[in-house]
């Protein structure tokens, strides 16, 4: 399958706002089950080692604080993180250097345990990915670890505002033809959890990158992707 940006996610029109009240109403589950919206880095692809390595090397080369960067970078677009920590005149070179190091480190990538099985059990039209990485890089990472590229992929270059803004998740839901109340977001980072919640969706936090306490904004927190289907199936009775 080829990845595509959903209508309205490439700057052609404003993103739809979250449906009012969806966070408090019981969910009427579609007959086919919920729509799943997955983050990629840390959720489907184990890229934590690569991300840490890249930011540490770039920080050392350009005189930035690596620990400060790593405290906030997960789940956020590089275009938003880089200006926070690097001198304006260095931003173009930093951006290029990040891309070079990411390409060199592709061998460090692995699928998150349970990802092949989970995605393999979902119909093509029932799931999408919403990522803070560029679309070309993210499709490459999925392919590198043997995971399918979804028909709907909303990436950093498809939205005006990255996570924690809900724009990406709302755009993916619209492309799937699903309302926010029918969607389950699976995220490993606080920024992504906040984005899913702001979109009015049920959010499952996955503790691959952050602790359960750091993902406390999610509706549910799991330690494994194997737990996701059961938690999603039980969500209709949530308060």
Q: Is 39 a catalytic residue?
A: yes
CA dist., res. 47 & res. 13, Å (int)? 32
- Which of the following is catalytic: 10, 24, 39, 165? 39
Q: Is 165 a catalytic residue?
A: no
Q: How far is CA 25 from the centre of its chain?
A: 25
- Which of the following is catalytic: 41, 46, 78, 219? 41
Catalytic residues: 39, 41
């Amino acid at each position: 399958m080829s990845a595509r940006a959903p209508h309205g996610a490439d700057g052609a029109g404003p993103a739809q706002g979250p449906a009012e009240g969806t966070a408090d109403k019981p969910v009427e589950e579609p007959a086919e089950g919920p729509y799943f919206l997955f983050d990629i880095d840390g959720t489907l692809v184990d890229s934590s080692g690569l991300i840490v390595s890249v930011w540490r090397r770039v920080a050392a080369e350009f005189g930035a604080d690596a620990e400060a960067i790593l405290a906030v970078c997960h789940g956020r677009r590089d275009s938003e993180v880089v200006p926070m920590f690097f001198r304006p005149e260095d931003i173009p070179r930093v951006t290029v250097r990040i891309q070079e190091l990411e390409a060199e480190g592709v061998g460090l990538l692995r699928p998150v345990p349970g990802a092949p099985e989970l995605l393999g059990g979902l119909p093509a039209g029932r799931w999408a990915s919403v990522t803070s990485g560029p679309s070309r890089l993210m499709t490459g990472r999925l392919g590198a670890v043997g995971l399918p590229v979804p028909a709907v992929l909303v990436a950093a270059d498809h939205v005006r505002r990255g996570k924690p803004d809900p724009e990406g998740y709302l755009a993916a839901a619209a492309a799937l033809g699903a309302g926010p109340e029918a969607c389950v977001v699976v995220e490993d980072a606080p920024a992504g959890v906040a984005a899913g919640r702001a979109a009015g969706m049920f959010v499952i936090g996955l503790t691959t990158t952050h602790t359960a306490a750091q993902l406390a904004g999610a509706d549910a927190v799991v330690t494994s992707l194997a737990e996701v289907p059961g938690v999603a199936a039980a969500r209709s009775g949530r308060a």
